[in-house]
């Protein structure tokens, strides 16, 4: 596995744990405040990146984008 794939899988597992434990509260993820919708978006994007290798035109913005940038996860459109 590549380093990129490892980072994505680690982020995905962390997000799944936060979703499971936080119900509907906002939580901090790598220093950014995330709502339940943000966490679900990160999980979806991680799944898409793992399956397809890129996001095929999905727009990523705001704190969700900053999380991927902070972890040096390359988002290819």
pTM value > 0.85: yes
Question: What CA–CA distance (Å, rounded) separates 1 from 61?
Answer: 27
Whether the CB-CB separation of 39 and 12 falls below 8 Å is answered with no
Q: What is the pLDDT of residues 17-29, one digit of tens each?
A: 999 998 778 999 9
DSSP state of 71: T
Whether the CB-CB separation of 8 and 46 falls below 8 Å is answered with yes
Which residue is associated with the tokens 């990523």? 60
Residue extents of the structural domains in the chain: 3-70
Q: What is the pLDDT of residues 34-72, one digit of tens each?
A: 999 999 999 999 999 999 988 888 889 999 999 999 999
Q: Is 49 exposed, middle or buried (0-12, 13-18, 19+ CB in 10 A)?
A: buried
């Amino acid at each position: 596995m590549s380093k990129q794939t490892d980072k994505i899988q680690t982020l995905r597992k962390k997000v799944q744990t936060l979703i499971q434990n936080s119900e509907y509260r906002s939580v901090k993820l790598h220093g950014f405040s995330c709502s339940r919708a943000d966490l679900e978006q990160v999980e979806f994007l991680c799944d898409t990146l793992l399956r397809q290798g890129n996001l095929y035109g999905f727009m990523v913005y705001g704190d969700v984008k900053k999380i991927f940038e902070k972890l040096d996860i390359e988002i290819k459109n």
